C-alpha cells in the first residue's frame, strides 16, 4: 500500500512514521509513505502557497494552482482524499474500502482550507468528526492508521481486527489483563474460567451492553444475531 500525504507541515507527519507498527510495516515494505511539502510548489521567491479569500473574510486560503501542482506530482492514484470538516464521515466501512486500494493521496489543508475548486480533483472528501482541527494532518494520520492496520501483515494477528469496534456495528468488548485484582477491582470470573464458549458469550454480551450505554444510535444498523436481539431486549428491561 502506498500513501502520499500532502501538507504544509511535513515535520508534523514524519515523526509519526518513525514509531510503532507503522514504522515496522514501512521497514518490511508493506507500506510506502511519502510526505510531500506543499510549499515546495509555492510561487515566487517566497514560495507563496495561499492568498486572501475572494469576497472577503478572515484567514487565508490555499491556492488551487499550488495544491494541484503538488497533487499531480504523485499521480496516478486510486483515491485522492481531501480531508475537511465538511466532508463525508470517515467510518470503519470506508476504511475497509480504502484498505483495498494500492495508492491513496491524502490532502491536508491549513488556515481556511483549500480553494473549493480542489474538490474537483478529489475522489472523496472525508471528515474525521464534527469538529474543526488546526489542520488536516491529524485527520490524514487517522486515515493512514485506520487503513494501514487492515493491510495484511501490518498487525501481528490477522484476525484481531475482526472484533474491532464498528466492524459488526457494535463497540468492542472490554479487555482485561494482569493483575487479577487491582485497587479492589477484579476481573470477571468467566474470563478466568478457561471456558472458551462462555468467554465468547460474555464478550458478545459486553459488546452489546457497551454499545447500548455509549453509542445506542449504532444499534439500529448493527448486524445482530437472534440471541443478541434477545439480550438487547433483556438489557432494555433492566434499564
Active site positions, annotated: 85, 112, 149, 164
Q: Is 57 left (phi over 0), alpha (psi -120 to 50) or beta?
A: left
d(CA 204, CA 184): 25
The DSSP secondary structure of 148-202, one letter per residue, reads: HTTSTTSSS-TTGGGGSTTSSSSPPPP---S-SEETTEE--GGGGS--HHHHHHH
Cell 472525508 belongs to 126
Residues 89 and 64 sit within 8 Å (Cβ to Cβ): no
Amino acid at each position: 500500500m502506498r500513501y502520499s500525504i500532502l501538507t504544509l507541515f511535513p515535520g508534523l507527519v514524519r515523526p509519526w512514521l518513525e514509531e510503532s507498527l507503522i514504522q515496522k510495516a514501512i521497514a518490511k515494505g508493506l507500506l510506502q509513505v511519502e510526505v510531500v511539502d506543499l510549499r515546495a510548489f509555492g510561487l515566487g521567491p517566497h514560495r507563496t502557497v495561499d492568498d486572501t479569500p475572494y469576497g472577503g473574510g478572515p484567514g487565508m486560503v490555499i491556492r488551487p494552482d499550488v495544491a494541484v501542482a503538488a497533487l499531480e506530482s504523485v499521480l496516478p492514484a486510486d483515491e485522492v482524499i481531501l480531508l475537511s470538516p465538511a466532508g463525508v464521515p470517515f467510518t470503519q466501512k470506508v476504511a475497509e474500502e480504502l484498505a483495498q486500494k494500492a495508492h491513496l493521496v491524502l490532502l491536508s489543508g491549513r488556515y481556511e482550507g483549500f480553494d473549493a475548486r480542489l474538490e474537483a480533483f478529489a475522489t472523496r472528501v472525508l471528515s474525521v468528526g464534527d469538529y474543526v482541527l488546526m489542520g488536516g494532518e491529524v485527520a490524514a494520520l487517522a486515515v493512514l492508521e485506520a487503513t494501514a492496520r487492515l493491510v495484511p501483515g501490518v498487525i501481528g494477528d490477522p484476525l484481531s481486527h475482526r472484533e474491532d469496534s464498528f466492524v459488526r456495528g457494535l463497540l468492542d468488548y472490554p479487555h482485561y489483563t494482569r493483575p487479577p485484582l487491582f485497587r479492589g477491582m477484579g476481573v470477571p470470573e468467566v474470563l478466568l474460567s478457561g471456558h472458551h464458549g462462555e468467554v465468547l458469550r460474555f464478550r458478545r454480551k459486553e459488546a452489546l451492553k457497551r454499545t447500548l450505554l455509549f453509542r445506542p444510535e449504532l444499534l439500529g444498523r448493527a448486524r445482530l444475531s437472534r440471541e443478541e436481539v434477545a439480550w438487547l431486549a433483556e438489557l432494555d428491561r433492566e434499564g
